[in-house]
């Protein structure tokens, strides 16, 4: 256990003007409050708050944050109170301790609705004082470092929560080192076999190739010295989880993985960054598409660096990051750099962002949205990388990777997004579903009277765009959705012998966090909720009865009711579905976004609310893919093998177009569900011999 004088020395290393008496008093108070308490490992409990404080000294944080770390569990676990801490220390420290206590009580890994509500509370706490989440992240890091003393089931729960929430949050805040360590510690619990396998391969590779990191580091230093560039060079192997994730994403074996080593060049000036980049590219061949300049286009959390990947020694790909010392401090501390101290004063790092402004980029304009939409928006912001595009006037718009012109329009203004009818990228007209790339100029074409289309929800990726589209659709079609929702609820309730009374709907709306019965009906009609969810809330005891009907793939059908999948949309398990009754044909299942459904909007009595049952479905649902592949020996065989490796079966193959260099094929495959389709499409898109692949839906194939 670190004693108080050692902790004070850690703080004084970067802040000689630190209030040592304050830290000493907090240390003694915390030790006294936690006396007699022990951790699962058998150690005195106070070793944990001290370790959290020590982690925060690595970020060079102020005295109040260090003291908060020492006291962060006192209000929750001891007889201490917020008012007592305010009286002994300060109201500021009491508020920080109270904020951490409230975050500790959030069950972030609970059910979807509860998780969404708590996520909003987490970000509200962050918006009040970012230091609260910094203490909480340090608290989680130490708990993950010592997780082996917990029960196995508790380890898995904490590890998944860390992987899903705290690690990406640390990364989004710019603390990449903490994200990587949290991910790797969680990976060690969730999939220890995979992690050990990667570590063994690293050891084997080192035996075969020697000290690759030292060799490449020396090569880079020699090149920089030759050009007279004063810089520090560091190299490291990437963390096991980072390597494993890349193997999964690219479907590659470890032996085929290239850039598993990373190197940093820390220069004295920004000009030297670009000089060093020239040296690297002159000496080694740059890998196309792997260059990013975050110095000229910094991330919202203040991160600045040049990233490039080159073919280094023996053809091995290595990633090189180039930045100045000040940029490196922000890259290490992220948003926390705002509080960093050096020589007793807060560091005036020009690249550190204002935490209040940063948190606004995650939460602005979402005050009126429900918890689930807020959660969707924040998770998109946390998990996705960024692209930078330009308006015709030269303004820079920062968007998540995969964003489209519609996202771009909504990022400028909701009115522009709602009235968007087309777009030009670098002067060329493009479809609205085009994915934007770094550096492109985007010109939005708008028209008065245009309204958002429901299909846009499948095109856009930003939470702001999704929320604005849903809001517009609800306003425009509210009456129609209410009528449709009422009919779907009526049919579902009658199916289980109940009546959909206004009181029942109001009760369900209250439990589901929806503002009133009409709003609930509108959301059911617009497919945001299902009538089955209402039944589950009001009559949970009926869920078991429904599951006992039969082992059929679709819930909501009579025991002997026949059904067929619509050929126009070929819905898969996992997709939102609805049934339409046809005279002489029985019930036909459509995907909720099938354009054919528009023909039956005025016949709500023909609609039946349905849902795929949970669980693993057999690979028996045919779906047609449109592929354009390179015309070369063995390519078609490799494509078929690749699909087989994904557990899908090819049931039909039709050559639609034969060119000297490319074939266009329609291929019918049998799949389990929508996730299975996504896995097959991802694997095909990653194949260099596949120029294009998409799912075919044909509205002309009506039932």
Which residues are annotated as catalytic? Answer: 76-77
Q: Give me the count of residues in the chain.
A: 703
Find the largest Cα–Cα distance for the chain. 86
> What are the C-alpha distances in Å from 66 to residues 11, 216, 398, 600?
9, 39, 34, 64
Residue with structure tokens 């994904």?
646
Q: How would you class 695 by CB atoms within 10 Å of its CB: exposed for 0-12, middle for 13-18, buried for 19 or more?
A: middle
Distance CA 284, CA 317 (A): 10
**DSSP label at residue 142:** H
Distance CA 18, CA 62 (A): 8
343 token code pair: 């020589």
221 token code pair: 């230093």
The closest of 216, 221, 212, 157 to 189, measured between CA atoms, is: 157
The closest of 250, 251, 254 to 203, measured between CA atoms, is: 254
> What are the C-alpha distances in Å from 37 to residues 41, 138, 363, 600, 681?
12, 21, 39, 66, 54
**DSSP label at residue 287:** P
Q: Which residues pair with 655 in a beta bridge?
A: 665
> What are the C-alpha distances in Å from 525 to residues 214, 513, 530?
62, 17, 8
Distance CA 257, CA 28 (A): 51
Distance CA 414, CA 393 (A): 19
260 token code pair: 């598993």
3-state class (DSSP) for residue 554: strand
């Amino acid at each position: 256990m670190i004693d108080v004088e050692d902790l004070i020395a850690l703080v004084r290393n970067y802040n000689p003007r630190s209030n040592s008496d304050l830290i000493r008093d907090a240390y003694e108070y915390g030790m006294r409050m936690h006396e007699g308490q022990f951790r699962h490992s058998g150690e005195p409990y106070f070793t944990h708050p001290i370790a959290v404080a020590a982690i925060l000294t690595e970020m060079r944080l102020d005295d109040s944050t260090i003291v908060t770390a020492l006291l962060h569990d006192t209000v929750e676990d001891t007889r201490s109170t917020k008012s007592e801490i305010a009286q002994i220390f300060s109201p500021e420290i009491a508020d920080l301790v109270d904020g951490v206590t409230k975050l500790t009580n959030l069950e972030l890994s609970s059910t979807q609705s509860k998780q969404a509500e708590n996520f909003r509370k987490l970000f509200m706490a962050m918006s009040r004082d970012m230091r609260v989440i910094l203490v909480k992240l340090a608290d989680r890091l130490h708990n993950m470092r010592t997780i082996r003393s917990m029960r196995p089931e508790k380890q898995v729960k904490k590890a998944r929560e860390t992987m899903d929430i705290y690690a990406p949050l640390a990364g989004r805040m710019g603390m990449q080192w903490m994200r990587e360590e949290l991910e790797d510690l969680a990976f060690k619990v969730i999939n220890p076999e995979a992690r050990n396998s990667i570590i063994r391969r690293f050891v084997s590779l080192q035996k075969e190739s020697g000290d690759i990191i030292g060799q490449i580091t020396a090569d880079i230093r020699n090149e920089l010295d030759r050009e007279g560039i004063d810089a520090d060079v560091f190299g490291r192997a990437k963390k096991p989880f980072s390597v494993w994730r890349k193997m999964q994403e690219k479907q590659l074996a470890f032996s085929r993985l290239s850039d598993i080593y990373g190197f940093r060049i820390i220069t004295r000036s920004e000009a030297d960054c670009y000089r060093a980049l020239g040296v690297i590219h002159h000496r080694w061949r740059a890998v196309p598409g792997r260059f990013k300049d975050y110095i000229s286009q910094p991330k919202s959390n203040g991160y600045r660096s040049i990233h490039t990947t080159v073919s280094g020694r023996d053809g091995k790909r290595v990633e090189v990051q180039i930045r100045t010392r000040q940029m490196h401090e922000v890259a290490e501390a992220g948003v926390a750099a705002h509080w960093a101290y050096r020589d007793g004063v807060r560091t005036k790092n020009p690249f550190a962002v204002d935490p209040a402004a940063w948190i606004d980029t995650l939460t602005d304009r979402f005050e009126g949205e429900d918890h689930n939409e807020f959660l969707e928006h924040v998770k998109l912001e946390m998990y996705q990388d960024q692209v930078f595009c330009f308006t015709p006037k030269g303004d820079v718009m920062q968007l998540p990777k995969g964003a489209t012109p519609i996202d771009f329009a909504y990022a400028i203004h909701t009115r522009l997004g709602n009235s968007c009818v087309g777009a030009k990228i670098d002067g060329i007209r493009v479809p609205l579903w085009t994915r934007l790339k770094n550096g492109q100029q985007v010109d939005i074409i708008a028209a008065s009277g245009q309204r958002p289309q429901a299909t846009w929800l499948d095109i856009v990726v930003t939470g702001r765009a999704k929320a604005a589209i849903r809001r517009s659709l609800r306003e425009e079609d509210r009456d129609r959705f209410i009528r449709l929702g009422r009919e779907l609820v009526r049919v579902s309730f009658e199916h289980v012998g109940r009546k959909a009374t206004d009181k029942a709907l109001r009760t369900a709306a209250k439990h589901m966090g929806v503002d009133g019965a009409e709003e609930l009906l509108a959301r059911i009609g617009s497919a945001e909720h299902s009538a089955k969810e209402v039944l589950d809330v009001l009559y949970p005891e009926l869920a078991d009865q429904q599951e006992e009907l039969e082992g059929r793939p679709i819930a909501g059908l009579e025991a002997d009711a026949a059904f067929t999948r619509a050929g126009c949309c070929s819905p898969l398990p996992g997709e939102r579905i609805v049934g339409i009754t046809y005279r002489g044909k029985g019930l036909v299942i459509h995907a909720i976004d099938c354009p054919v459904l528009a023909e039956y909007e005025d016949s709500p009595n023909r609609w039946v609310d349905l849902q795929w049952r949970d669980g693993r479905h057999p690979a028996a649902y045919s779906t047609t893919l449109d592929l354009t592949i390179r015309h070369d020996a063995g390519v078609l065989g490799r494509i078929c093998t690749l699909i087989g490796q994904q557990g899908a079966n090819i049931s039909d193959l039709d050559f639609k177009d034969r060119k000297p260099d490319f074939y266009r094929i329609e291929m019918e495959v049998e799949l389990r569900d929508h996730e299975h389709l996504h896995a097959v499409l991802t694997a095909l898109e990653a194949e260099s011999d596949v120029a294009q692949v998409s799912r075919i839906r044909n509205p002309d194939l009506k039932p």
